[in-house]
Amino acid sequence: MRHEPRIAPVADRVADLNRRYAHHAAIDVLRHALKDPAVGRTAMVSSFGSESVALLHLVAVVNPSTPVLFLDTEMLFPETLDYQRDVALKLGLTDVRVIHPDPADVARLDPDGLLNRTDPDACCNMRKTAPLARALDGFDAWITGRKRFQGGSRASLEFFEEEAGTGRIKVNPLVHWERDGVRDYMVNNRLPRHPLVSRGYPSIGCAPCTSRVAEGEDQRAGRWRGQDKEECGIHFVNGKAVRRPIAGEDAA
């Protein structure tokens, strides 16, 4: 009788992956992660935001056919949609999957497009968190652009981590990069900047919830300005998408 090989629990695989790749560079971590059976079927999640192009470029160098999930909330700046198409073409990414909110949910919960004003958390859940949960179904891991310098809970991030309650692995190739390193990489590789950055938008989300940032303000001051809200909150607990206000939780 033939027996299928036993797959180790996620926590054990994550510990082993971090041990094996502890001293590798970001591109080597990506290269191994996209082939290592201990990681499994992997997608990248990208906002195509102000600094996303650095990690997108690394993914394109390693394997341009890697699935890239882009959440079109249907409230993004036109510049972001144009930038997404331009970057995908320039980098030769061949499997960019544009994810939309469920039309039935939009019709039921936000028929007039004003939910972001009355309940921004519910808007983010409908337009971002729930669609991403559906899009990630069937993947064993996903690549994020999170970095230690972003502080908070990220200060001790490793290359690989277990995503609680889902059985998936998060891959964080850029954990050791500094802010200047990201910008230098973009300049050295002549990567296109998001057009809104030069117009005062260092952190870019949905158009109704993003405003210009004045000189001296925090880079994320323009996100949900005037509201008691800092993040869209993409998280999963026990396999279900939930919201949690954790600072800097953008995927990439």
- Hey, which residues are catalytic here? 232
Instruction: For residue 143, count other CB atoms closer than 10 A to its CB.
Output: 30
CB 29 within 8 A of CB 19: no
Residue from 161, 164, 190, 165 nearest 175 by CA: 161
For residues 75 and 23, what is the distance between their CA atoms, to the nearest angstrom?
40
For residues 220 and 230, what is the distance between their CA atoms, to the nearest angstrom?
8
For residues 212 and 225, what is the distance between their CA atoms, to the nearest angstrom?
10
Q: At what angle do helices 52-62 and 179-188 cross, to 10 degrees?
A: 60
CB 180 within 8 A of CB 171: no
Both tokens of 182, joined, read: 């990201």
In 119-189, alpha helices (H): 120-124, 130-136, 179-188
Backbone angles phi, psi at 103, to 5 degrees: -55, -35
For residues 53 and 47, what is the distance between their CA atoms, to the nearest angstrom?
10
